Amino acid sequence: MDKDKRNFLDVAESITGQAWVERMSLIQKGQAEAMVEEHGVEGHVARIIAGRGVTAAEAKTYLTPTLRDLMPDPSTFTDMDKAVARLVKAVNQNEQVAIFGDYDVDGATSSSLMARYLGGCGLKTEIYIPDRIFEGYGPNENAIAELVDNGAKLIVTVDCGSTSYDALAHAKTLGADVVVLDHHQVNTELPDVEALVNPNRHDDMSGQGHLCAAGVVFMTLVGLNRALREAGFFEDREAPNLMDWLDIVALGTVCDVVPLVGLNRAFVMRGIEVMHKQKTPGLVSLARVARQDGPAAPWHLGFLLGPRINAGGRIGDASLGAKLLTTSDVQEADTIAEKLEMLNGERQAMEATMLKQAIEEAEAEIGLGDGPSILITEKETWHAGVVGLLASRLKDRFRRPAFAISFDDRGIGSGSGRSIAGVDLGSAVRQAVDEGILVKGGGHAMAAGITIERAKLGDFRSFMESKLADDVGVERNKQMLKIDAALSARGANVGFVEQLERAGPFGAGNSQPVFAFPNHIIRFADVVGANHVRFTLGAPDGGELRGIGFRIADDALGKAILEGRGQKMHFAGTLSSDFYRGAKRVQLRLIDAAAISEKI
């Protein structure tokens, strides 16, 4: 361990098995001090952003990111000018355009953005979202043929298509052009299409590989808007106001868990401002049925709105999310939102049952030792639309990459994988496809989707272990929880949390600040909801703080809290605020706890 990464509060091994270390290095501490002295940045905000690599010189821009400063010229994306030219042709010739999206939030937001813009230009559009179970991810030949039969002259794929060689070649034989707008990792071989805009293709120099598909689509619309203005298209009609759609871009960005850095931070911050103006009927309706408390915040997007849109793609009608975000009819928006709320409830019940089975299987696989580096669980009874959630839960619980696979009665499995930082799952999956182990597969470093034959399951386990075991071992040996600062319950107040929000939005690539609460006593604890633990901490100075630990009641951490009433411990977690009967209040989301060292 580095000299400037000594154990925080002397916690060498917490209840979850982690060492606590101070996030900031000595150099970063100096940068934080300079931010305070030279730029007047509040102390805790300075510590947080310095601990994430921001220098004093960058502090002002970081805290006030603007689209003007961070948005590149769309033409810097490879093939962007070709994509725009083909879309201009579609607009000028009033062609019918089909939009082929993915069944997750990023696919829904991307499809909606493209449909809104082209519809605003007077074009007839059709959004096609494949069924997760029966069609799987990405374009397929039957769907392409259906879209062409329905009159599509141009097919725009969003959040998919970069590796759909056969399906997109089929479109060409049927006389339809294709433009691909995507962000997933790709091979050097690309499909034969009019244009493929993907900041993660090997010959793209835009530097925007962190964008989700909604971000790529938005940049495409910026380029298209410019081209149509220059051509005089909007001389006798009102141009769509792209800034009014940043709430949709923000939703896709947060829910696809892309790094909240650079342009993505600006998208989310500006998008939240647009969301406050309630310009999108579908988001207003969804916030209502989700019982969103107070004005929209990034966590509402990731934990309230996103899961409900995803529920349609997981266990219901995959097109519901795109329809919700595209409609301008308030009554239709209400109807779709209610349907998504119902599906989300069904998904939660289904997930709880499946998760119990998956945990039992994983624990049996691990046994008494450390077990495999990559967990691969499977069952025929699992719903294929929920396996991604299972993989995510297993990854969090066992601190290693995890796959969950649902096999059908033909022995064909649909699975999802989730990874830990430092372990590139998408690359390994693509190699498994090249080796003939997987029927199909792709993704990015942190998440991947696969199609596999049951007979190949053993080969897949061996392949993933051989490819990733060393990387997993390195990352798991770190087992460190980085602490931003120590606080007391009294100091964790509404004003403090509002100050922290200046360093946000928080998420992937800009992690939520983690605070330690030393020597606090557990005054109350019980189990609520689906295995959550709620509790109240008391500080040595008399302050109190409400807390919640999600899905931990059966874990060592949850048991320690429930059995530790009246005991003093160190606690670590993140802070958030919510509204209760119109009043804003603060809550600690528990990540870890530790016994008090005798040295303290």
Asked whether the predicted pLDDT for residue 2 surpasses 80, the reply is no
Calpha distance 371→331 (Å, rounded): 52
| Dihedral Cα 425, 428, 433, 439, nearest 10 deg | -40
pTM (2 d.p.) = 0.90
Give the model confidence (pLDDT) of 484-509 as tens digits: 999 999 999 999 999 999 999 998 88
Domains of the chain in start order, with CATH, are: 3-24+484-594 (2.40.50.140), 71-342 (3.90.1640.30), 367-477 (3.10.310.30)
Instruction: For residue range 398-442, list pLDDT tens digits in order.
Output: 989 999 999 999 999 999 999 998 899 999 999 999 999 999 898
CA–CA separation, 52 and 392 (whole Å) = 24
Query: H-type helices in 327-436, by residue range?
Result: 330-366, 387-398, 425-434
pLDDT at 194: 98
What is the rounded average pLDDT of the residues 361-372?
83
Neighbours of 196 (CB within 10 A): 24
- Reported as a single tens digit per residue, the pLDDT across 41-76 is 999 999 999 999 999 999 988 999 999 999 999 999
450 forms beta bridges with 415, 441
Rounded CA Rg of the chain? 24
Average pLDDT score over the chain: 93
Cα distance between residue 320 and residue 126, in whole Å = 13
Q: pLDDT band at residue 539, thresholds of 50, 70 and 90?
A: very high
Query: What residues are paired with 481 via a beta bridge?
Result: 20
Three-state SS letters, 94-130: CCCEEEECCCCHHHHHHHHHHHHHHHHCCCCEEEECC
Tens of pLDDT along 220-266? 999 999 999 999 999 999 999 999 999 999 999 999 989 999 999 99
- For residue 368, pLDDT over 70 is answered with no
Separation between Cα atoms, residue 106 and residue 251, nearest integer Å: 8
Residue 600 is predicted with a pLDDT of 41
Candidate from 285-289, 368-372, 507-511, 562-566 with smallest mean pLDDT: 368-372
> What local confidence, expressed as pLDDT, does residue 433 receive?
94
Would you say residue 379 has pLDDT above 70? yes
DSSP string, 285-347: HHHHHTT--SS--HHHIIIIIHHHHHHHHHHS-TTHHHHHHH---HHHHHHHHHHHHHHHHHH
Whose CA is closest to 594, among 10, 186, 164, 77? Answer: 10
Q: What is the mean pLDDT of residues 183-200?
A: 94
Backbone angles phi, psi at 322, to 5 degrees: -65, -40
The residue among 446 and 145 whose pLDDT is bigger is 145
The DSSP bridge partners found for residue 588 are 547, 575
10 Å CB burial of residue 314 (0-12, 13-18, 19+) is buried
Query: What pLDDT is attached to residue 530?
Result: 81
Q: Write b or e for each residue in 493-530: b if 16 or more Cβ atoms lie within 10 A of its Cβ, otherwise e.
A: beebbeebeebbbbbbebbbbbbbbbebbbeebebeee
List the structure tokens of 220.
């495409």
Distance in angstroms (rounded) separating the CA atoms of residues 447 and 295: 30
Mean pLDDT along residues 271-275: 97
